[in-house]
Amino acid sequence: MTTKQENKLSMYLAVRTVCDRNNSIWQTLPAFVDASADFGTRIINIQTLAQKQAVDSTGLTLDKDQLRKAMALAAVELAKATNAYAKKIGNHDLDAKTTVSVSTYMQGRDTLAAPNALNLHAAVTANLAALAPFGVTAAKLTALKAKIDAYAASVAKPRDAVGSGSSATQQMGDEFDAADAALNDQMDALVSQFADSNPQFVADYNNARIVVDSGGGGAKPTLPAPPTPPPA
């Protein structure tokens, strides 16, 4: 949410507070009731979207990195044991496939790390029957697969969070426009009907309709000055 939007939302909340406090007054005017309900809905929508917009992908990125490291460590443990077996029997193809390190999975594109680990998983699985003396078990392979799956599922989450925030920004703009329409086109036009019977409500409403610039630019009235009454 931009500073301008935050300032405007503060104004919205002030207007809603005044209207809630004087509910019994404007309930007699159906059009004002409808506009106020729509305005309140827009405020709730804006606050909900603000939460989505504020999603920080940093935490998700840290989670992804931790899952990647866990996958890498589990893969390397099995790779080293299998590589020892490959060297013992002179299987050069298996030797090449299992000559890896943690950096093999931690460096390079994050989208390739899981497929690389799956290739290792397949190579170890193909030789599982002979690997028991080297400490390789089906349980360890299952644990590695779980870590690969967990990492693979996390890869898109930070980007997804950013995309969700961008979508929320667009929707928020639409909600602000709708809230402004409820105020400018309906509530502002109707509130003057209460000026004679409830002048304090109208005065409080108009004061609430002033947007205060929290950035230090001072108050910015959103309503034009009232016209000068005609001479009696």
Indicate if the pLDDT at residue 179 is higher than 60: yes
Across the range 133-140, mean pLDDT stands at 96
Stronger pLDDT, 55 or 108, i.e. the higher one: 108
Quick check: pTM over 0.85? no
CA distances from 19 to 50, 69, 106, 177 (A): 23, 55, 57, 20
Please determine, for residue 11, whether its predicted confidence score (pLDDT) is greater than 80. Answer: yes
Q: How far apart are CA 123 and CA 58, in angstroms?
A: 34
Q: Please report which confidence band the pLDDT of residue 166 belongs to, taking 50, 70 and 90 as the band edges.
A: low
Averaged pLDDT score across all residues of the chain: 86
In this prediction, residue 212 carries a pLDDT of 87
Please give the share of the chain, as a percent, with pLDDT higher than 70: 82
Torsions phi, psi of 221, nearest 5?
-65, 140
pLDDT at 191 over 80: yes
Q: What is the pLDDT of residue 224?
A: 41
Q: pLDDT value at position 54?
A: 59
- More reliable by pLDDT, 181 or 172: 181
pLDDT tens digits, 63-120: 888 999 999 999 999 999 999 999 999 999 999 999 999 999 999 887 889 999 999 9
Give tens-digit pLDDT for 22-43.
999 999 999 999 999 999 999 9
For 67, phi then psi, to 5°, come to -65, -35
Binned at pLDDT 50, 70 and 90, residue 196 comes out as very high
CA atoms within 13 A on the CB side of 42: 24
Q: Is 40 exposed, middle or buried (0-12, 13-18, 19+ CB in 10 A)?
A: middle
pLDDT value for 157: 62
Confidence at residue 223, expressed as pLDDT on a 0 to 100 scale: 45
In this prediction, residues 192-217 reach a mean pLDDT of 88
Return left, alpha or beta for 90; rule: phi > 0 is left, psi -120 to 50 is alpha, else beta. Answer: left
**Predicted pLDDT of residue 50:** 81
Q: Is the pLDDT of residue 56 over 60?
A: no
